[in-house]
Structure 1
């Protein structure tokens, strides 16, 4: 029998392998997996189960000797009847013994939960879900902001942290009881904790009919690397593109509206804009205009006169920006128009990367700040 140094230096003695094994076993934690799956609208798949009052992500316990990723794939098959491998981790969560709310008789020692990315499922894959008899009563896709009302507190925090990590693309998040040790800007403002802006309005690449009044002019403002400016509400985390509603001083000129609103909201300046198209509302005779333009300068963060607060300004790829909204299938048409305009402006397609916060004034004529 070999000897092992004691982890307690104060004891200053050598432990036997048997003693060391007993000590480590006494400190053992459970191991579990979860899989974050979204639909094409960015809603999260949750399971209603028959053994607890709150909902869960797909997943479960890691069996003895089983790798966590293999356990996640096995659970998808057992719980949803879906065969797929998971290879991308989103988060690893340390859950303390008192963080689960387990009954005393369970003697819950704490748990390490590995959260994997199950990807975005289309209608065909969703239709292939087959639930087992018992345990899983039903599944549904829900708006991320609903998770705290449907899941236990630690499970909801973990799911939202994992979803933000997927959008931010900074790599797997290390969590303690669902909270990140190194919060990103999305974590800090609580993005996705409130319902995303929902506009399932058709996008038309042509000009708006003269019969429709313009109620909004928003812009996709592109930096030299193809990322765009997105504004986050500092209190709710709600995201929006820069722009606003017409004011009397705009003289019914949507470009005057756009420049004024973008200056007020973001202290941003931009070059010659390209008209992308408009959104129409079947319930209201109005048009919401969309433009794309090269972003040239940002001043110090201004206080928005509409809210009395300064927006948090971030750079994101157009695809990351869309994930912060609930625009439905028309979002694909608008994205296509953005990339067509980007190509016309001679701006490269942005590589997915962590979001970059812009707290200070920035001159963009010499290039675009890199993500940290």
Structure 2
């Protein structure tokens, strides 16, 4: 070779159905088996450089900025997702819509919010230490008087200095780790203050805007993901917010008012 290194490509193969997966035939003597794994598990299963390439390709797919050019598995022009490196792993398994009677905690059910910016994108929070993605929300306190909307508004303000308006009930998700369900709401973002320290966790979350379709890619919402996405868009229409155009994920580091 007259040049150092090699050229490697990572392609998005789309979503395969059961018939396509069953039709896989590993080349005898070259490949023993094919396995599907969580992206978060790749660093433990692959060579470091290959894991970096695969995860960089996944972040490029989520961000929507187009092909990513890498050097040693890292982007030459990093996006906000590359600099924050969100984890991609399992999240609470969903219950189907429409909602059913839901279990409650001592002060009411935990609440999760889909907060829309005026351009139709959704506020997503990234844990600065683990890179894990989450939506605004949290656990009720006695001062919320078992009102989930009050919980959502308070939590969004404390976690990320977000002011919400026009809350719309969506449904709920079961939580496999807790004996409760998480109530889901949609709301409109009206204002973002300076990035705060969350008093309940001590973390300063990274705030990003992503389309609802991009947001799905941060979470494993299971078979009801399409129903959840439909419910989110129905709430968006009721809030009078347009559908977001496909665009790269962006960070909200400064105060913003709409």
In the alignment, which residue of structure 2 is the partner of 1:188? Answer: 83
Residues in 2 aligned to 1:182 and 1:358: alpha-carbon distance in whole angstroms: 19
- 1:259 paired residue among 149, 153, 157: 153
Residues in 2 aligned to 1:110 and 1:210: alpha-carbon distance in whole angstroms: 56
- Whether 2:26 is the aligned partner of 1:124: answer no
Q: How does 1:225-264 map to 2 (within 5 A)?
A: 225-264=119-158
- 1:315 paired residue among 203, 209, 213: 209
Q: 1:282 to 1:191 in 2, by over 3 A?
A: closer
- Whether 2:49 is the aligned partner of 1:157: answer no
Contact 1:205 1:337 in 2 (8 A): no
- 2:92 paired residue among 193, 199, 209: 199
Residues in 1 aligned to 2:128 and 2:39: alpha-carbon distance in whole angstroms: 18
Residues in 2 aligned to 1:117 and 1:335: alpha-carbon distance in whole angstroms: 22
What is the DSSP-based 3-state SS (H/G/I as helix, E as strand, rest coil) of the residue aligned with 1:110?
coil
Contact 1:230 1:316 in 2 (8 A): yes
- Whether 2:184 is the aligned partner of 1:294: answer no
Q: 1:273 to 1:150 in 2, by over 3 A?
A: same
In the alignment, which residue of structure 2 is the partner of 1:27? Answer: 2
Cα RMSD (Å): 1.9
Distance apart, 1:225 and its partner CA: 1.6
**Which deviates the most, 160-169 or 180-189?**
180-189
In the alignment, which residue of structure 1 is the partner of 2:31? Answer: 136
Residues in 2 aligned to 1:147 and 1:182: alpha-carbon distance in whole angstroms: 23
Distance apart, 1:186 and its partner CA: 1.0
Distance apart, 1:197 and its partner CA: 4.3
What is the DSSP-based 3-state SS (H/G/I as helix, E as strand, rest coil) of the residue aligned with 2:7?
strand
Residues in 1 aligned to 2:198 and 2:70: alpha-carbon distance in whole angstroms: 33
What is the DSSP-based 3-state SS (H/G/I as helix, E as strand, rest coil) of the residue aligned with 1:215?
coil
Residues in 2 aligned to 1:267 and 1:326: alpha-carbon distance in whole angstroms: 26
Residues in 1 aligned to 2:29 and 2:241: alpha-carbon distance in whole angstroms: 54
Distance apart, 1:337 and its partner CA: 0.6
What runs of 5+ residues in structure 1 fail to find an aligned partner? 1-25, 29-108, 365-372
Distance apart, 1:142 and its partner CA: 0.6
Counting matched residue pairs gives 256
> Per residue, is there more strand in 1 or in 2?
1
Distance apart, 1:215 and its partner CA: 3.1
Residues in 2 aligned to 1:345 and 1:111: alpha-carbon distance in whole angstroms: 51
What is the DSSP-based 3-state SS (H/G/I as helix, E as strand, rest coil) of the residue aligned with 2:156?
helix
Q: How does 1:67-216 map to 2 (within 5 A)?
A: 109-192=4-87, 196-206=89-99, 209=101, 212-213=104-105, 214-216=108-110
Residues in 2 aligned to 1:306 and 1:203: alpha-carbon distance in whole angstroms: 30
What is the DSSP-based 3-state SS (H/G/I as helix, E as strand, rest coil) of the residue aligned with 2:32?
strand
Residues in 2 aligned to 1:271 and 1:294: alpha-carbon distance in whole angstroms: 5
What TM-score do you get using the length of structure 1 for normalisation? 0.65
What is the DSSP-based 3-state SS (H/G/I as helix, E as strand, rest coil) of the residue aligned with 1:338?
helix
Distance apart, 1:139 and its partner CA: 0.7
By relative contact order (CA 8 Å, sep 6+), the higher-ranking structure is 2
